[in-house]
Chain A
Amino acid sequence: MNDFSSVLFVFVLATFIGLGVIRRVSRLLYTPLMSLTNAISAIAVVGSIVVTGADHPLTIRILGAVALFASMTNIVSGFMITDRMLKMFKKQ
């Protein structure tokens, strides 16, 4: 139980940090913000790696591999398109 309460603790603190940091994000950049946070939340990839790579039954690993593919797609396309958009923002 102790473990769960510490994870809950992290969740609450991370949400406050998130609200504080996102509030400061320039309104110009909401579209790239969304693709960036999307790529970051694809950190779910670490869960998929464990499910896919560990010595589990085959069906479980297939589910993991599809999830890994989906997360990896988000990581690659998310970071790349964010950078592509941000490159376009020029002051003058």
Chain B
Amino acid sequence: MHLIGELAAVLATALFIFALYWMGDPKTARRGVFAGVTGMTVAVLATWMQPEILHHGWIVVAIIAGFAVGIPLSRVPLTAVPQRTALSHAFGGLAAGLVGTAEYFLWLGEHSAQLTPFRTSALVAEVILGFLTFTGSLMAAGKLQEVRWIPQRPVTYPGQNVVNIGVLLVAVALGVVLVLNPTAPSSGQIFIAIAVLALVFGVLLIIPIGGADMPTVISILNAYAGLAAVAMGFVLDSKLLVTAGALDGSSGLILSIIMCKAMNRSFTNVLFGAFGKAQPALAAGEQKEWKQESVEGAAQLLEQARMVVIIPGYGMAVAQAQHKVRELYDALTKRGVTVKFAIHPVAGRMPGHMNVLLAEANIPYSALVEMDEINPEMPQTDVALVLGANDVVNPAARYNKGTPIYGMPIIDADKAKTVLAVKRSKNPGFAGIDNELYVLDNTWMLFGDAKAVLGDLVKQFGSGGIH
């Protein structure tokens, strides 16, 4: 039986690695899901078959409950995928934290010889990472879902970083005490105190973070959830768990690095910098006026273009405008206009958010172009249509050291011959800064909900309004 368990673990590990390998290409990616499901099934069955498992009823009930909640969670609208992802990081953290707690008290009560310094350290790491990921991800999910009692805008107060780091340091210090003396009479309380501090730290960590930072924060929480699983693997001496956790952790790490680079910021700056605080308006020396364009005029511009680049942002997701985008895409390509989509790495609220929304609307992925590849084409672009994107097209990022987005790589919308910007309101974007793009000479604004504006544009093409 034990041998079967070991072999199953090796097989599952191999399948998980293949699953990620196949994600290298959209053509093979679905095979990856199949490999993952197979690996998971093998590992679960092999564990379940082990002779020490006696209470099968409990397992069946928990698994059925997991299906009952998991299936609806997999059917959320794609605009809600960032929340679902954050929620699943929370569940992952919760599972690690609870298993760590259970194992600790089990060993404390019955087999205290098991609590070696190494294993106790791993337990402390598992519980801290698990519980901080749990509450941190719940907060992130709440902010993304725009739950009413969780503030959307970053909440900051004086000494915030001192408090946050202090809470974490106390938890780690208690962890050291526990490792030095894992079976002291007070160690049970110390363990619980560590768990509580980790839960508190998770909340404190996310309070000062705003929506524009969510792609990075979700990636970092992903890495934490993976590391919590690794720590659990150390505790349980399971190479399978360590491998799967390391795969998850390295994925979170790589995505975090890419997201940070795409915003020209460091990890510490994201976590402790409270991005998105309203900036004082910069010297309003040369206030320029926006120029508004009518839907008819915009349709004419688009129709006469040879190449149109659409730059989607969170505004497209909020307005659920992706299907209207598809109609516009169809109308334009039918008239021989080349239409491409410029995807900034941090557009939206999680890595890859825009790609999924556009794919949902049946836009072929060959039309989705990354920032680095589209930028050289921008000067030859006739119309850049900015759709609910803001900071990722703000030319101030190139030279204005006073803005928080200084140094952030942007999509060069301003280099297109004409810019059409669809914007919900005349308010500044998430970073709270004015966007110079909107007042450039070659920029024309279309105010309104992205979905409504696009609907009107498509009508211009449909009803023969344009000849």
- What residues of chain A have their CB less than 8 Å away from a CB belonging to chain B? 1, 3-4, 6-8, 10-11, 14-15, 17-19, 21-57, 59-61, 63-92
Which B residues lie within 8 Å of A60 (CB)? 102, 105-106
Question: Does B298 have its Cβ within 8 Å of any Cβ on chain A?
Answer: no
Interface residues on chain B, number (Cβ under 8 Å): 110
Given A44-B229, A68-B62, A72-B62, the answer on whether A30 and B222 have CB atoms closer than 8 Å is no
| B122 nearest in chain A by CB position | A4
A-B contact pairs, 25 of them (CB 8 A): A18-B20, A19-B253, A21-B17, A21-B21, A26-B24, A28-B359, A29-B29, A30-B352, A31-B81, A34-B352, A42-B40, A44-B96, A44-B245, A46-B43, A50-B53, A53-B55, A59-B105, A64-B102, A66-B98, A68-B95, A69-B69, A79-B36, A82-B36, A90-B359, A90-B362
Minimum C-beta distance from B66 to chain A (A): 2
Closest 4 CB pairs of A and B: A72-B66, A76-B70, A30-B352, A18-B250
Q: Are B52 and A50 in contact (CB under 8 A)?
A: yes
Given A30-B355, A56-B106, A67-B95, 11 additional A-B pairs, CB 8 A: A33-B251, A36-B20, A52-B59, A53-B53, A66-B94, A72-B63, A78-B70, A80-B71, A81-B81, A88-B356, A91-B364
Per the bound structure, the CA–CA distance linking A74 and B242 in Å amounts to 18
Q: Which residues of B contact A81 (CB under 8 A)?
A: 73-76, 81, 84
Confirm or deny: B395 has a beta carbon within 8 angstroms of a beta carbon on chain A: no
Interface residues of B in 44-70 (CB under 8 A from A): 44, 47-48, 50, 52-56, 58-59, 61-63, 65-67, 69-70
SS class of chain A's interface: helix, strand, loop or mixed? Answer: helix
Known: A25-B20, A85-B78. A71 touches B247 (CB 8 A): no
**Residues of B close to A56: CB separation below 8 A:** 102, 106
Residue pair B241, A55 in contact (C-beta under 8 Å): no
Cβ-based interface call for B218 (8 A): yes
Given A32-B352, A51-B99, CB of A65 within 8 Å of CB of B234: no
Q: Report which residue of B44, B62, B101, B249 has the largest number of chain A beta carbons within 10 angstroms of its beta carbon.
A: B62
In the assembly, what is the distance between CA of A10 and CA of B253, in Å? 18
**Are A47 and B40 CB-contacts (below 8 A) given A21-B21, A29-B352, A89-B365?**
no
B91 x A50 contact (CB < 8 A): no
